[in-house]
Amino acid sequence: MEDQARIMQSLGGVTLAAHSVQGGMALPPPHGHEGTDGDGRKQDIGDILHQIMTITDQSLDEAQAKKHGLNCHRMKPALFSVLCEIKEKTGLSIRGAQEDDPPDPQLMRLDNMLLAEGVSGPEKGSASAAAAAAAAAVGGGADNSIEHSDYRAKLTQIRQIYHTELEKYEQACNEFTTHVMNLLREQSRTRPISPKEIERMVGIIHRKFSSIQMQLKQSTCEAVMILRSRFLDARRKRRNFSKQATEILNEYFYSHLSNPYPSEEAKEELAKKCGITVSQGVGSTITVSQVSNWFGNKRIRYKKNIGKFQEEANLYAAKTAVNAAHAVAAAVQNSQANSPTTPNSGFQMKDEDFQMDATESKNSLLSNMFSGSSGSFNLPNAGDMFMSMQSLNGASYQGAQVGGSVQSQGDTIRHAISQAVGYSDGLRGHLYSPHGLNVNGGWHDAPTPSSVTSPTEGAGSVHSDTSN
DNA sequence: CTTGATGATTATCA
DNA sequence: TGATAATCATCAAG
């Protein structure tokens, strides 16, 4: 036994220590002092480093000669097989002691988070980012804000860095593993190294590298969290819509008061409209979800306090009416002035119970509309209704009319028509639909008469037909 | 600083 | 899944 130990020691002195495969990455104590884990091992490494630093050509030659001598020793094969046996046994005992590392819960957490954030996993992040970028390039996609795409871009950046680093680590790990394996294979000619040992060594290397990877994952997670807090949570930071945007939304709301539930297309249309007007000023766009939020808030707040919104309602009702009237008037003029071949000639609003003659006067149209506006929803009490009527025919009507004409004064005929067309549905609903707020304060769920809100409502539903 | 307005979020429901 | 109701958080005026 002592002989074996001596031989082993001498072998170890020449090359990598034979124990090294058992003791982890750190090399073993060459002099038998058992450094348990921390300081002892460090000291060992220091010793070895010192030895390496003091290696000279002469000592190398000596070692080689020694090695050669041992290899040529006549007892070598027999001793080698004994060594192998011993190693096998110790290897088994060590294997029993070394537990298979369970999946690190923290690593799992990190992995899950990275997966959830779209940093790791399939190329979902970059793909959607590309999609967002494409949508932005197309010209203001429906549901992407600048901030969102910005966030996406940053996330993609993090993702890219993460993947490059990960790949780098992986590559380094593989290279190192191959290197160590080659080294061990090389050494297996001079000392007994079982495949299991190599496997274990590889495992150790992988663990080391995975701990480095964990650091990478951790810092990636941190980066994502910071990004989140800076971008997504900033969504909560409220910015008021511009005056024009609010105006547009209000116009739609009050002209569709009987059924203020814009369809998806209508929302998109509104978002676009608001975005266009806003982009001339502040430069932020309004998304469909923001339009949805706005309508959700508006509906609930209107319903809660109709009285408070009455003036606003009247104003916008009047404004829409004036706009529509202008449109109609313009169309009428158009039809009279232009040749009958003009597409817009003889503009008529179509509805089974609403046939408006093109020659009808603007005043009667207005009064019709106003009387209709208060009837478009069932007000909780008659007093409100009366007030509504009063204000419509009274002071606020004047103001509204002024507002309306100011708005439409600079408008071209085309704009007026588009306005009317855009809200023609609402006007019809506004004027003649008996549906609206019920006594309980809820809007009737269904726009019962198909004429009130056609399913394909929107700017496209233009009925400027001469024949009917 | 207070307060009302308002955009966004969340829980709940049909 | 979309609507509602409640609530949060911020803006903006006074």
For A368-378, the pLDDT digits (tens) are: 333 333 334 34
Least-confidence region, from A142-151, A230-239, A265-274, A446-455: A446-455
Region A297-304 average pLDDT: 92
Q: What percent of chain A has pLDDT over 70?
A: 47
Q: How many CB atoms lie within 10 A of CB A11?
A: 21
Closest CA to A254 of A327, A318, A326: A318
Amino acid at A320: T
Closest CA to A198 of A184, A187, A208: A184
Distance between the alpha carbon (CA) of A302 and the C1' atom of B3, Å: 20
Does any strand C atom come closer than 7 Å to the Cβ of A441? yes
Distance between the alpha carbon (CA) of A240 and the C1' atom of C9, Å: 13
CA distance to A214, A327, A329, A389, per residue, from A314 (Å) = 63, 19, 21, 9
Q: A93 is written with which tokens?
A: 């005992």
Distance between the alpha carbon (CA) of A28 and the C1' atom of C11, Å: 68
Least-confidence region, from A102-106, A225-229, A354-358, A420-424: A354-358
CB A372 within 8 A of CB A432: yes
Q: Which residue has the higher pLDDT, A241 or A12?
A: A241
Q: Which residue has the higher pLDDT, A282 or A252?
A: A252
Place of tokens 């190398």: A60
Distance between the alpha carbon (CA) of A252 and the C1' atom of B10, Å: 27
* pLDDT band at residue A133 using 50, 70 and 90 as cut-offs: very low
Does any strand B atom come closer than 7 Å to the Cβ of A442? no
Does any strand C atom come closer than 7 Å to the Cβ of A303? yes
Residue A300 clears pLDDT 90, i.e. is over it: yes
Model's pTM, two decimal places?
Answer: 0.44
Closest CA to A158 of A207, A216, A95: A216
Does any strand C atom come closer than 7 Å to the Cβ of A292? yes
Quote the CA–CA distance of A231 and A229 in Å, as a whole number.
6
Distance between the alpha carbon (CA) of A234 and the C1' atom of B9, Å: 13
The nucleotide lying nearest A264 (C-alpha to C1') is C2
The nucleotide lying nearest A260 (C-alpha to C1') is C3
Does any strand B atom come closer than 7 Å to the Cβ of A308? yes
Does any strand C atom come closer than 7 Å to the Cβ of A444? no
Instruction: Count CA atoms within 13 Å of residue A392 on its CB side.
Output: 25
Quote the CA–CA distance of A275 and A271 in Å, as a whole number.
6
**Within 255-274 of chain A, which residues have Cβ less than 7 Å from strand C?**
261
A437 bridge partner residues: A443
**Within 232-261 of chain A, which residues have Cβ less than 7 Å from strand B?**
235-236, 238-241, 246
Which nucleotides of chain B does any protein CB come within 7 A of? 5-10
Distance between the alpha carbon (CA) of A170 and the C1' atom of B8, Å: 43
Which nucleotides of chain C does any protein CB come within 7 A of? 2-7, 9-12
DSSP secondary structure, A110-132, as one string:
HHHHHHHTTSSSSTHHHHHHHHH
Residue nearest the C1' of C4 (CA based): A300
Quote the CA–CA distance of A345 and A342 in Å, as a whole number.
5
Reported as type and span, the H/E element at residue A301 is helix A288-304
Handedness of CA A103, A107, A109, A110 (dihedral sign): negative
* Phi, psi (rounded to 5 degrees) for A70: -65, -45
* pLDDT band at residue A95 using 50, 70 and 90 as cut-offs: low
Handedness of CA A79, A84, A89, A91 (dihedral sign): positive
Region A240-251 average pLDDT: 90
The nucleotide lying nearest A237 (C-alpha to C1') is C10
Does any strand B atom come closer than 7 Å to the Cβ of A302? no
Does any strand C atom come closer than 7 Å to the Cβ of A300? yes
Region A398-422 average pLDDT: 35
CB A342 within 8 A of CB A335: yes
Quote the CA–CA distance of A423 and A328 in Å, as a whole number.
13
For A57-83, the pLDDT digits (tens) are: 777 788 888 878 877 777 777 777 777
Residue A356 clears pLDDT 80, i.e. is over it: no
pLDDT of residue A369: 38
Region A90-96 average pLDDT: 57
**Within 281-300 of chain A, which residues have Cβ less than 7 Å from strand B?**
289-290, 293-294, 296-297
DSSP secondary structure, A313-380, as one string:
HHHHHHHHHHHHHHHHHHHHHHHHHS-TTSTTTT-----TT----TT--HHHHHHHHHHHHHHSS--S
Does any strand B atom come closer than 7 Å to the Cβ of A168? no
CA distance to A57, A167, A231, A437, per residue, from A126 (Å) = 55, 17, 17, 46
pLDDT of residue A299: 94
Region A2-11 average pLDDT: 42
